């Protein structure tokens, strides 16, 4: 971490502006806290307000100016919200979809990423460019045909993969061109000598990948995992298109459905909102490093 503030210049040239302006007394803490505390507060006000409203009675919520702290926190909003819609179902569905998509992406993308990074095979260059070209296509261009393809899978292969089944939420997302690209870039930085030694000893390609390359690639895998979890868990448009039955809904879709049914019952709605957000927020704070890394690496290396 570098600090952009200039270090103490007390001993340096006395005419610099910054030393002149320095106040005589010193705060017991950095004055930057006086900027950062209000700034941070402002950023999390929406979340705080959600939390506060979720503990109010409907009478308290419908008052102006607003009640800033409920007289007695009303936790019943949570149990009422939980009972009013199958949130348990939503959680299980979201978790299932995310886990399957995550596992598949890590496996499929590392296999392909490794091959693109290390193996010279016929058509590699053209194939890679073709896959990467799909990264430029926005989802809206492909979503109507993907709907038709998924429908076909449901009608002809297995109903569990078709429209209105959570399988339809997994199927189109089992691999991403971005994941392949990202892991390929990382695998290329792994020293090739390690692999060559093992290859000479007769280890297969898969053996090399799983025993040597992947253990060295845990940071990259975790980063891709964080990105995949966030994208999959919060996905909305695709579930909205393919899912109509409540028992197949994921959290964002279920929450939106709940919103439609309880439009202005704000405390109830906010309790549902807090419950929906909690798993992802906990995961995010717990694995923050990887989430941060996933954004920083897409931005600066990608």
| Least Cβ distance, residue 79 to other proteins (angstroms) | 19
Q: Which of 32, 79, 155, 245 binds other proteins (CB under 8 A)?
A: 32
Closest CA to 51 of 37, 38, 64, 68: 68
* Greatest alpha-carbon span in the chain: 82
**Positions in 71-100 near other proteins (CB under 8 A):** none
Q: What are the distances in angstroms from CA 214 to CA 183, 188, 208, 211?
A: 10, 12, 9, 7
Site membership for other proteins, residue 5 (CB under 8 A):
yes
Site membership for other proteins, residue 245 (CB under 8 A):
no
Q: Which of 8, 22, 30, 159 binds other proteins (CB under 8 A)?
A: 30
| Least Cβ distance, residue 158 to other proteins (angstroms) | 15
Site membership for other proteins, residue 251 (CB under 8 A):
yes
**Positions in 126-155 near other proteins (CB under 8 A):** 127, 130-131, 134, 136-149
Site membership for other proteins, residue 64 (CB under 8 A):
yes
Closest CA to 54 of 282, 285, 280, 265: 265
**For 4, left (φ over 0), alpha (ψ -120 to 50), or beta?**
alpha
Site membership for other proteins, residue 162 (CB under 8 A):
no
Site membership for other proteins, residue 266 (CB under 8 A):
yes
Name which of 19 and 96 has its Cβ closer to other proteins.
19
Contacts of residue 181, Cβ cutoff 8 Å, sequence gap at least 6: 113, 131, 132, 135, 302
Q: Which of 92, 96, 198, 240 binds other proteins (CB under 8 A)?
A: 240
**Positions in 198-227 near other proteins (CB under 8 A):** 199, 205-206
Name which of 194 and 237 has its Cβ closer to other proteins.
237
The span of 70-78, 84-92, 217-225, 229-237 binding other proteins (CB under 8 A) equals 229-237
Q: Which of 8, 9, 76, 211 binds other proteins (CB under 8 A)?
A: 9
Q: Are 278 and 270 in contact (CB under 8 A)?
A: no
Site membership for other proteins, residue 243 (CB under 8 A):
no
Quickly count: other Cβ atoms within 10 Å of residue 293's Cβ. 18
The C-alpha atoms of residue 112 and residue 184 are separated, in whole angstroms, by 8
| Least Cβ distance, residue 113 to other proteins (angstroms) | 8
Q: Which of 43, 69, 83, 129 binds other proteins (CB under 8 A)?
A: 43
Q: How many helices (H) and strands (E) does the chain have?
A: 17, 0
Site membership for other proteins, residue 174 (CB under 8 A):
yes
CA 8 vs. chain centroid, Å, equals 41
| Least Cβ distance, residue 171 to other proteins (angstroms) | 7
Quickly count: other Cβ atoms within 10 Å of residue 73's Cβ. 13
Burial status of residue 277 (CB atoms within 10 A of its CB: 0-12, 13-18, 19 or more): middle
Containing 295, the helix (H) or strand (E) segment is: helix 288-300
Q: Which of 79, 189, 245, 259 binds other proteins (CB under 8 A)?
A: 259
Site membership for other proteins, residue 34 (CB under 8 A):
no
Site membership for other proteins, residue 103 (CB under 8 A):
no
Site membership for other proteins, residue 22 (CB under 8 A):
no
| Least Cβ distance, residue 153 to other proteins (angstroms) | 9
Please count the CA atoms within 13 angstroms of the CA of 221 that sit on its side-chain side: 19
- Locate tokens 């209000």: which residue? 38
């Amino acid at each position: 971490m570098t600090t952009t503030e200039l270090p103490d210049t007390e001993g340096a040239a006395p005419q610099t502006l910054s030393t002149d302006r320095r106040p005589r007394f010193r705060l017991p803490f950095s004055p930057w806290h006086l900027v950062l505390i209000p700034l941070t507060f402002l950023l999390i006000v929406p979340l705080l307000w959600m939390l506060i409203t979720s503990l109010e009675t409907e009478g308290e919520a419908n008052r102006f100016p607003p009640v800033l702290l409920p007289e007695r926190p009303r936790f019943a909003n949570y149990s009422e919200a939980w009972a009013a819609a199958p949130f348990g179902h939503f959680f299980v569905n979201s978790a299932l979809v995310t886990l399957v998509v995550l596992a598949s992406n890590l496996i499929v993308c590392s296999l392909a990423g490794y091959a693109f990074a290390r193996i010279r095979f016929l058509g590699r260059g053209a194939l890679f460019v073709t896959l990467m070209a799909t990264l430029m296509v926005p989802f809206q261009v492909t979503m109507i045909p993907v709907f038709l393809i998924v429908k076909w899978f449901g009608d002809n292969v297995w109903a569990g993969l078709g429209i209105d089944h959570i399988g339809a939420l997994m199927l189109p997302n089992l691999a991403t061109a971005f994941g392949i690209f990202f892991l390929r870039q990382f695998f290329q930085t792994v020293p090739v000598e390690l692999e060559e030694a093992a290859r000479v000893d007769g280890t297969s390609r898969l053996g090399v990948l799983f025993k040597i390359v992947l253990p060295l690639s845990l940071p990259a895998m975790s980063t891709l995992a964080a990105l995949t979890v966030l994208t999959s868990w919060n996905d909305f448009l695709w579930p909205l298109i393919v899912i109509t039955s409540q028992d197949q809904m994921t959290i964002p879709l279920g929450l939106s459905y709940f919103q439609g049914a309880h439009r202005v019952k704000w405390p109830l709605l906010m309790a549902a909102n807090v419950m929906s957000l909690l798993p992802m927020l906990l995961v995010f704070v717990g694995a923050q490093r990887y989430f941060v890394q996933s954004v920083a690496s897409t931005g600066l290396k990608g």
